[in-house]
Amino acid sequence: MKVTFDHSRDEAGNIRTFFFRTEQAVDYTAGQYIQLTLKHHRADKRGIKRWFTLSSSPTDELLSITTKFEGKGQSSSFKKALFKLKPDNELVMSAPMGDFVLPKLIQTPLVFVAGGIGITPFHSILTWLTATKEQRPIKLLYGVYTEDEIVFQETFDKAGIKPTIVVSNPSPAWGGQRGRISAELILGLEKPSEDTLVYVSGPETMVEQLEKDLAKAGLKKHQFVGDYFPNYTDI
């Protein structure tokens, strides 16, 4: 389907949210992802298509994605073209898909673990919960490289969530937790019961390593829900 670029919003540092209009309503569930096709001049070998998790909620008027620009020397031709979009430019979007969504039982204890831009599906989910006034038992662990990359604090506040934020390369002024997300940190945040589900979203290597480490620590396979972002470095 065609989508039309509406506007963008800088979130923090080099992280930006892009908003799109559609001719007809799009049916999706908070936490799902889409594929965008953006034809552009001199596309590099990575091509004209990319996967993005929707950072918008089904209750929002516009669709949105949130992504990071690594710099002219590191970012792909696709990302450069995306950051140069002008209002009313058109792209092609796939139907939303994916199962990184809330469980049906609202009483299920949830631990959300986000690495960097992996916060986007949780932004979608928390925005939806706030809009629908649905209450869920959620704890959020959010890891970033520097504190300048922390985004969506207003969304956390509206949802009544107090995230545990971990910064791997903080400035001397940072007064919060330092280091990297680990299985020990996750299990220290919430001692999982047999019903607990741990959702992990972030760079591919981070998600894969945490899945292995949590399994070694006793978390059952069905209790782990992963969603990774290819081509992003570890937090």
Q: Residue 160 falls within a domain, yes or no?
A: yes
The pLDDT value given to residue 76: 86
Q: What is the pLDDT of residues 174-218, one digit of tens each?
A: 999 999 999 999 998 878 899 999 999 999 999 999 999 999 999
Q: What is the CATH number of the domain that holds 130?
A: 3.40.50.80
Residues 82 and 140 in one domain: no
Which domain-ending residue is among 93, 128, 160?
93
Q: Residue 185 falls within a domain, yes or no?
A: yes
Q: What is the CATH number of the domain that holds 13?
A: 2.40.30.10
Q: What is the pLDDT of residues 113-136, one digit of tens each?
A: 999 999 999 999 999 999 999 999
Residues 131 and 77 in one domain: no
Q: In angstroms, rounded to a whole number, what is the distance separating the alpha carbons of residues 118 and 187? A: 19
Global pTM value: 0.93
Residues 217 and 121 in one domain: yes
Cβ atoms of 2 and 89 within 8 Å: the answer is no
Q: Could you tell me the sign of the dihedral formed by the alpha carbons of 42, 48, 53, 55, in that order?
A: positive
Number of domains in the chain: 2
The pLDDT value given to residue 157: 98
Residues 115 and 221 in one domain: yes
Q: Residue 60 falls within a domain, yes or no?
A: yes
- Is residue 152's pLDDT more than 60? yes
**What's the pLDDT band for 71 if we cut at 50, 70, 90?**
low
**What's the pLDDT band for 46 if we cut at 50, 70, 90?**
confident
Which domain-ending residue is among 45, 67, 93?
93
Q: What is the mean pLDDT of residues 48-54?
A: 95
Residues 169 and 208 in one domain: yes
Neighbour tally for 23: CB within 10 Å:
9
Residues 130 and 223 in one domain: yes
Domain limits for position 21: 2-93
Looking up tokens 């985004």, which residue turns up?
Answer: 151
Q: Order the strands of the 33-37 sheet from edge to edge.
A: 49-53, 33-37, 90-93, 2-12, 15-22, 63-68
Q: What is the pLDDT of residues 102-116, one digit of tens each?
A: 999 999 999 999 999
Residues 120 and 77 in one domain: no
The pLDDT value given to residue 13: 83
Residues 133 and 216 in one domain: yes
Q: Whole-number mean pLDDT of the chain?
A: 94
Residues 212 and 163 in one domain: yes
The pLDDT value given to residue 91: 97
Count of alpha carbons within 13 Å of 40, Cβ hemisphere only?
Answer: 24
- Is residue 229's pLDDT more than 80? no
Q: Residue 102 falls within a domain, yes or no?
A: no
Residues 89 and 120 in one domain: no
